[in-house]
Amino acid sequence: MILKKFVLRPATSLLRFAHYNLPKSPSGGFLPLKLPGCFGGKQPFNWGFFRVFPEKKQKNPRAQQAACALLSFFLFFFICSVCPVSVFPLSFADPGAPEELAAAIESAMSDEQALAQTFMLGWGGAEPSPLILQWIRERNIGGVKIFGWNTEDTLQLAGTVGALQEVSLAGPFNIPLLVATDQEGGWIRHVKGSTSETPGNMAIGASGYPQDAYLAGYYIAKELAVLGINMNFAPAVDLFTNRASVLIGPRSFGSDPVKVGILGAAFMKGHQAAGVIPTAKHYPGHGDTDLDSHGVLPEIAASFETLWNRELIPYRMLAVEGLPAVMSGHLAFPNTEAASMPASLSPWFLEDVLRDKIGYRGIIITDDLMMNGATGWAGSLSRTAKQALIAGNDIIMFSNTPNLYEPLWTFLLSSMKEEEDFRARVRDAARRTLLVKLRYLKGEGSVPYIPDPRKVAAELPDPEGAAFFVNLAARSVTLVKPLPPDSVFPLKQESAGRVLLAGRYNDFFKAGKAAFPAADSCRYTETDGPAALLSYARNADTVIFCLSDAADLRLLRSLEPLKKQVIVLSVLNPVYLESVPWVNGALAVYSYAPESFAAGFSAMIGRIPAEGRLPYE
């Protein structure tokens, strides 16, 4: 066929689609040309106008060659004009609407590639392990999770993130990784090194200003972006409902669901302004239990009506504001339709409530599936992962790196091939994951795939952020006792007499010595008995005690019989102050960041007012 000789070969050399062949025709007729890249790869394209005649000897071969080359040229422009998807190999970097490109890439993926997009894996150590690199290179997984054990050296971490992204970008479709961490602020700060220590969510709740929430979210995310981290598991919008909770406590903005929703939405907007994907957690709410889902599956007695009007209000508010990601929690609510099933594995919680009733449209990611709160219910990691996907999670997260061919992978893949409904659910999860990547990981303002080490050295900690966090710490200092404060505060050296500083944190002593240079110091550990503290306290007129947890509380109670003036600087969760009504004075700050200690002592001696309010009833 002359057409095959002269039309396709010039097109092959110029346009790189040699693998498309026009079918032969023994006689003149209309020939279909099937282009898998067109119309989402699902419809053949028929060149109905194109008439091909049997080959015969030509009188003027040069004229025929020129005519066929010209026809090839018009054929190329016709293809470009009618095909919404490029006939070239699909790439994440292709232009186009995110929805259309996500659907096209997912449609072109094998089942293995689609399943891999739902995986987010952690690894041990500062350097990327050979196994995590193998998962990225051979499977092209959807994301990686940065934990505290990966992050002591921020410059090294930036190099690691860049190395992982380079491997991922070299894979099929050139898809970048979601690189996620937990950087809530305050107590939870997985990326350490030279990043900012911040006052935390409860400090934002104590200040009460949405602008503080926005700027905290912005500066935390801005630092993560410098390191190439494009997703953060924050804000935590769990309510401060159960005061005995050791897992949530100062990670909460407070107990009022509407205020938590407002502050959570502002924090989310700050992240988005810095180009980082925010993730609200722990859906549907971890605040009403004193148990930790890392070790057990907590059961929360709340009815659905209670949840709808309390824990779910922040999610309802954030969904309206365009929240892109939610983390599902390993929590059981036996008085709801989910019964004993963890919410993270429950289609009722994730599909019926979150997507259908609330109207949420972003992606859902599990909390770590290696936590006992998840695997204990399902019986094995493989079954837990499958149920998580069936329930409506789009990304399944694992804190460790499994072997390539262990049952976790092979069981899920075989389930896709045997169960069409499960296959469709996995492919839908892959499409949703691709869509959030296309919306956030490309274009102006997105987080760079390969961090610049010069920026890491120059911009961490962020200087503007550092100034803001000092002011936030100052605005959040809360006077708890006495009310009014005149009988104790401001505490001056002449009225305090001999001062003893008692605590565990170096920054407490640094700030305390700045306020009271002549003070003595008593450092203790969690396991120390009261003997040493009492020995020091007997020689003091005023004891300034740093209270942060139940172990500190036991030591603090030993001071009551001495009848000394006792001033407490509470850090983290201030509820412990309710157990010591006999102390003379108490101020609350909400983290052990240096700025929080400095602000607390500044309020104690009267340099700044204590304007914060306890953010719970």
SS3 138: helix
281-318 pLDDT per residue, tens: 999 999 999 887 888 899 999 999 999 999 999 999 99
Statement to judge: residues 261 and 396 lie in one domain: yes
SS3 555: helix
On whether the CB atoms of residues 258 and 615 are closer than 8 A, the answer is: no
Is it the case that residue 39 has pLDDT exceeding 50?
Answer: no
Q: Which of 464, 490, 517 is the last residue of a domain?
A: 464
- Asked whether residue 614 is domain-assigned, the answer is no
CA distance 410 to 445: 38
Statement to judge: residues 77 and 210 lie in one domain: no
Q: How far is CA 394 from CA 114, 384, 412, 544, in A?
A: 11, 14, 14, 50
pLDDT of 60 reads: 62
- Asked whether residue 92 is domain-assigned, the answer is no
On whether the CB atoms of residues 242 and 297 are closer than 8 A, the answer is: no
**DSSP class per residue in 108-119:** HS-HHHHHHHTE
581: domain range?
477-604
Is it the case that residue 377 has pLDDT exceeding 60?
Answer: yes
Q: How many CB atoms lie within 10 A of CB 196?
A: 22
pLDDT of 408 reads: 96
Statement to judge: residues 217 and 249 lie in one domain: yes
- Quick one: which of 572, 478, 447 has its CA closest to 185? 572
DSSP 247: S
Structure token digits, residue 550 = 């139940």
Peptide bond into 453 cis (omega under 30): no
Statement to judge: residues 272 and 230 lie in one domain: yes
- Quick one: which of 598, 504, 506 has its CA closest to 553? 504
CA distance 515 to 538: 21
Statement to judge: residues 425 and 386 lie in one domain: yes
- Asked whether residue 500 is domain-assigned, the answer is yes
Q: Which of 464, 489, 524 is the last residue of a domain?
A: 464
Structure token digits, residue 81 = 């004009």
Active site residues: 294, 367
516-573 pLDDT per residue, tens: 999 999 999 888 999 999 999 999 999 999 999 999 999 999 999 999 999 999 999 9
pLDDT of 151 reads: 85
463-500 pLDDT per residue, tens: 999 999 999 999 999 999 998 888 899 999 999 999 99
Statement to judge: residues 440 and 485 lie in one domain: no
Residues 6+ apart with CB under 8 A from 483: none
Query: Confidence class of residue 66 from pLDDT cuts 50, 70 and 90?
Result: low
On whether the CB atoms of residues 141 and 177 are closer than 8 A, the answer is: yes
Residue showing tokens 């102390």: 583
Average pLDDT, the chain: 88
- Asked whether residue 469 is domain-assigned, the answer is no
Residues 6+ apart with CB under 8 A from 282: 236, 238, 293, 327, 328, 329, 331, 367
Which residue type is seen at 171?
G
State in Å, rounded, how far the first CA of the chain is from the last one: 85
Q: Which of 464, 499, 531 is the last residue of a domain?
A: 464
Across-strand partners of 542?
499, 565
Average pLDDT over residues 77-86: 47
Statement to judge: residues 305 and 435 lie in one domain: yes
Query: Confidence class of residue 150 from pLDDT cuts 50, 70 and 90?
Result: confident
158-208 pLDDT per residue, tens: 999 999 999 999 999 999 999 999 999 999 999 999 999 999 999 999 999
Q: Hey, what's the torsion of the CAs at 54, 56, 60, 63, to 10 degrees? A: 20
Average pLDDT over residues 80-90: 53
Q: The CATH number of the domain where 128 resides is what?
A: 3.20.20.300
Segments of 322-444 assigned E as strands? 325-328, 332-333, 339-342, 363-366, 396-398
The pTM score is 0.85
**Distance of alpha carbon 336 from its chain centroid, rounded?**
27
SS3 392: coil
- Asked whether residue 437 is domain-assigned, the answer is yes
- Asked whether residue 484 is domain-assigned, the answer is yes
Statement to judge: residues 482 and 460 lie in one domain: no
Residues 6+ apart with CB under 8 A from 5: none
Structure token digits, residue 165 = 């992204």
SS3 316: helix
Structure token digits, residue 215 = 């700027």
Give the chain's length: 617
- Asked whether residue 548 is domain-assigned, the answer is yes
CA distance 600 to 337: 46
CA distance 508 to 386: 48
pLDDT of 540 reads: 98
Q: The CATH number of the domain where 571 resides is what?
A: 3.40.50.1700
CA distance 400 to 250: 27
- Asked whether residue 520 is domain-assigned, the answer is yes
Statement to judge: residues 454 and 490 lie in one domain: no
Lowest mean pLDDT among 68-82, 83-97, 308-322: 68-82
Structure token digits, residue 523 = 């450092």
pLDDT of 62 reads: 63
Convert 425-443 into a string of H (helix), E (strand) and C (coil).
Answer: HHHHHHHHHHHHHHHHCCC
- Quick one: which of 578, 548, 610 has its CA closest to 243? 578
Statement to judge: residues 441 and 503 lie in one domain: no
Statement to judge: residues 458 and 482 lie in one domain: no
On whether the CB atoms of residues 232 and 217 are closer than 8 A, the answer is: no
Total domains in the fold of the chain: 3
Statement to judge: residues 346 and 223 lie in one domain: yes
